[in-house]
Structure 1
């Protein structure tokens, strides 16, 4: 079965989530990474997921990366029922797109720093099996988040700006962030005939996640914000912002590129951490 069909079949089994990329996007990253794992890494993934627990602490029966790719969103959605601030900021870093400065990261709770710390836990054989199991799930999810442009770069009215998206039939409020998380991502996944190949070389330095985040921040400026009508750095744009068909088509290519990068890099991180 062709890789594109494998991904499509897996995604049909998954519910959508409101997280960065929806659940289908996170599953796509995991599906791209899975065949690129070394035998050693694949065996450890199976071992770490053998006794996996769901958001309620019950056996999940999930044994594949695509099945646990949105666990981090699931536990957040459960936690905010009692604590609205639970996991706030963990999936993003509010880096201004028109500056080299990085956004705040309180107590290391932002996407790139958490990816670094959770990768260290995953690679540490002295950690408990449960700690490494949860670290694996964080790593899979955060690699996806890190490559979502609006999770790495923001502007003045930024991701909360109200937009009208060409070809989007559902009425009601849609933010720029929601457009990239949902309908634009769905358009990128629909009919994607990706050609599988060997793993691309991925340099893994200690600060690689931060460098990838900077790369994504630059992409946010060039592909998300700069094409917006009337865009200027730090300017608040008049709403609703019209995202025309040309914007939609350009975003599809960017999203596919980012999913591919995330999958390749996820495989590299897991292969190094689970040797």
Structure 2
């Protein structure tokens, strides 16, 4: 066990510079593309043929993995002039110990944006650019929705200050931040899913909301309940120390959520692009 913990800490330390938006979202996109139907695959290629990057220049990107972080990229550019740009779009603040949904201002939250962009993508009367951007939003947001802290929070919110045992992180670290980056990238390094989409039924229009609620429960059981002193509706004492056992426990959780996101994204695109 001691050797496993040491290896885990080394991986964490070496991967801290990467973001979930890079490695995690690319993994979701790659798995989805591997499970597209031939018809959906062809339409994706058409939709990405004249793709533009964050600066409205030809991107040369032709795969779901390569465009999976576009939504984060345009937010980074927009935030230079408007710090509130796209605020709230990438998640929804659902309380992990409550059945009620978090607020969704004007439909601008993760599950509702997937639903609205799905309507645009499916509509062949929409301009090609609109459908291209709808595709990129869906690819990104399905990934975001399956990251536990994008779909569920406790009384501290995702900003609870944390330390990772045995790992040095520059600057302040938050619970949301380490699940987005350090823990996610440690789990993904050297791992590639070979999961295959099996027989599926027709997705309901509100399927993204149901996925989000499932992920909220993952946040409760896999992110919060393992923390010492956690209790529903109570703020955790900060800073929170995430020991080596917690770090190792996060590995199968991250991989499970990446696989769920990738396969569900494929199922959704196969249905929208028949």
Same fold (TM over 0.5): yes
**Structure 1 position 167, deviation (Å):** 3.6
Match of residue 256 from structure 2: 257
Equivalent residue of 1:117, what SS? Answer: helix
Bigger drift between 166-175 and 217-226 goes to 166-175
Contact 1:162–1:175 (8 Å) recurs in 2: yes
Report 1:1-275 matches (<5 A): 16-17=18-19, 21-192=20-191, 194-199=193-198, 201=200, 203-275=202-274
> Deviation string for 1:137-168 (max 9, x for gaps)?
00000000010100000111121011111242
Where in structure 2 are there 5+ consecutive unaligned residues? 1-16
Equivalent residue of 1:125, what SS? Answer: coil
Shift of the 195–53 alpha-carbon distance from structure 1 to 2, 3 Å rule, reads closer
Partner Cα distance (1:257, 1:200) in 2: 19
Shift of the 200–186 alpha-carbon distance from structure 1 to 2, 3 Å rule, reads farther
Partner Cα distance (2:201, 2:216) in 1: 19
Where in structure 1 are there 5+ consecutive unaligned residues? 1-14
Equivalent residue of 1:58, what SS? Answer: coil
Partner Cα distance (2:254, 2:69) in 1: 18
Per the normalisation by structure 2, the TM-score is 0.91
Shift of the 245–113 alpha-carbon distance from structure 1 to 2, 3 Å rule, reads same
Shift of the 139–222 alpha-carbon distance from structure 1 to 2, 3 Å rule, reads same
Partner Cα distance (1:110, 1:193) in 2: 29
Partner Cα distance (1:127, 1:195) in 2: 34
Contact 1:202–1:265 (8 Å) recurs in 2: no
> Deviation string for 1:160-204 (max 9, x for gaps)?
011111242224311000110001001110232533434463651
Shift of the 173–202 alpha-carbon distance from structure 1 to 2, 3 Å rule, reads farther
**Structure 1 position 22, deviation (Å):** 2.8
**Structure 1 position 266, deviation (Å):** 0.4
> Deviation string for 1:94-124 (max 9, x for gaps)?
0011100000101100000000000110010
Contact 2:21–2:72 (8 Å) recurs in 1: no
